[in-house]
Structure 1
Amino acid sequence: MFKELALAIPFFVGASTALPQATPGAKLAPDAKFSLMALRSASEVHFAGFDAAKSSLFLNLPNQNASCDAGPADSATFYLQDGGLYLYAASATPQQLYVDRSGMGQGKLGYTTGAQPTPKNAERTSFTLDESNDLTFNGAGFIACPNSIDGAWSVWVSAGIDKPAGNEGCLGISVRAVEVSEPNGCLYTE
């Protein structure tokens, strides 16, 4: 038994270092570029990176089909500016996130490109990072719902509705910002 345990310990130690580190670190600088990671223990979205495509945000999307400066990106890169959350693009048209917490939007989290208008009741500001680099929108958390495009999970802002747009199996998630040292600027699909 001890021999089997001795052989298993290096496997588990090696496996744990390959996972993203979700322990709180230093608060990100105001001009930091970061990825977003879902935290929900014992779920298939735990440690999943946020992807951007078709004017929406997803977890576990197989391909973002984004047009990026340094080749394909595994996940989306973001930055905060004056309470607004943006997709990072060094040279592309700005893409800004919005939230529609109205009865029609039910917490819809999406993004617009350039001068494209938001839905009627959408809000663009009030995104903040706390001392642990956890993201909220006007104090509200996030929800992930399965069975979206290509088997991905859609991401919503919690607006008091457990099943936004009638989605089943949704989970509340924490969203952690993780600094990206070499950001890849992308233009994400509309």
Structure 2
Amino acid sequence: MQFKALTAAALLSLSSAACVPRPSELPAGSRFSLMALRSASPVHFATFSATKSSLFLNLPDQDATCDVEDPGYATFYLNEGGLYLYAASATPQQIYADRSGMGQGKLGYITGAQPPPRNAELDGWVVDEYGNLSLDGAGFLACPDSIQGSWSLWIDAGVEQPAGNSDCLGISARTVEVTDPISCQYTS
């Protein structure tokens, strides 16, 4: 009887070990795209795009000026807790989030010397052990019926339907390393 209990305990510990998260395979200093994860939804596996100082999913045309043909998705990198759009130029485009009552989780980006909006958070972006990006642990929301039929992206600020949007979905933002990044300047 005791042998069966020990065997069961050993098997349980082995199966639990298989569930332990593995470290993210995103090397420091990497350039990456972001892919939405929300099973059985219209945005599952959609890539993040950038245009008009905002971020979107399922955007048909991000209208970026790139060194070569626009890949149709945005490329990002982290630097000292800040999240940036990748461009080879000296003018960085930095992602911000406004989780104040006014911003309700607004995501956007600023260019170069442009000052951030009043309640903008620029730092605190991290990639967890699963390869998911968050802002100090806060995930993302995607809301339908935005420009060109896309989904607008928001940081989860505890508001289920930010800015009057409806049918928003919580998503995970999985990082996908881009080994040969394309330098783009995104519209503001």
Instruction: State TM-score, norm by structure 2.
Output: 0.87
Matching residue's letter, 1:178: V
Partner of residue 40, structure 2: 42
Residue 108 of structure 1: how far off its partner (Å): 0.3
Partner of residue 144, structure 2: 146
Partner of residue 163, structure 2: 165
Residue 25 of structure 1: how far off its partner (Å): 7.4
Partner of residue 106, structure 1: 104
Residue 69 of structure 1: how far off its partner (Å): 0.8
Partner of residue 26, structure 2: 28
**How far apart, CA to CA, are the structure 2 residues paired with 1:110 and 1:137?**
13
| 1:144 and 1:171 in contact (8 A); partners too | yes
Residue 70 of structure 1: how far off its partner (Å): 1.7
**Structure 1: 5+ residue stretches without partners:** 1-23
**How far apart, CA to CA, are the structure 2 residues paired with 1:105 and 1:73?**
30
Q: Runs of 4+ in structure 1 displaced over 6 angstroms? A: none
Write out aligned runs for 1:80-95 (5 A).
80-91=78-89, 93-95=91-93
Residue 26 of structure 1: how far off its partner (Å): 4.4
The aligned length equals 168
**Structure 2: 5+ residue stretches without partners:** 1-21
Secondary structure class of the residue paired with 1:162: coil
Write out aligned runs for 1:42-61 (5 A).
42-61=40-59
Q: Summarize deviations over 1:68-112 as a string: whole Å, max 9, x none.
A: 012212200000000000000012521000000000000001000
Matching residue's letter, 1:38: A
Q: Structure 1's 92 and 147: CA in aligned 2 closer, same or farther, altered over 3 A?
A: farther
Q: Summarize deviations over 1:126-157 as a string: whole Å, max 9, x none.
A: 00001111001011010000000010000000
Instruction: State TM-score, norm by structure 1.
Output: 0.86
Q: Structure 1's 147 and 60: CA in aligned 2 closer, same or farther, altered over 3 A?
A: same
**How far apart, CA to CA, are the structure 2 residues paired with 1:183 and 1:70?**
10
Q: Structure 1's 27 and 59: CA in aligned 2 closer, same or farther, altered over 3 A?
A: same
**How far apart, CA to CA, are the structure 2 residues paired with 1:69 and 1:128?**
28
Identity, in percent, stands at 63
Compute the RMSD of aligned alpha carbons. Answer: 1.4
Q: Summarize deviations over 1:27-71 as a string: whole Å, max 9, x none.
A: 211100000000000001000000000000000000000000122
User: Residue 131 of structure 2 is aligned with which of 129, 133, 153?
Assistant: 133
Larger radius of gyration: 2
| 2:24 and 2:128 in contact (8 A); partners too | no
**How far apart, CA to CA, are the structure 2 residues paired with 1:47 and 1:25?**
21
Select between 85-94 and 109-118 the one with higher mean Cα deviation: 85-94
Secondary structure class of the residue paired with 1:150: helix
| 1:98 and 1:109 in contact (8 A); partners too | yes
Partner of residue 17, structure 1: none
**How far apart, CA to CA, are the structure 1 residues paired with 2:90 and 2:152?**
25
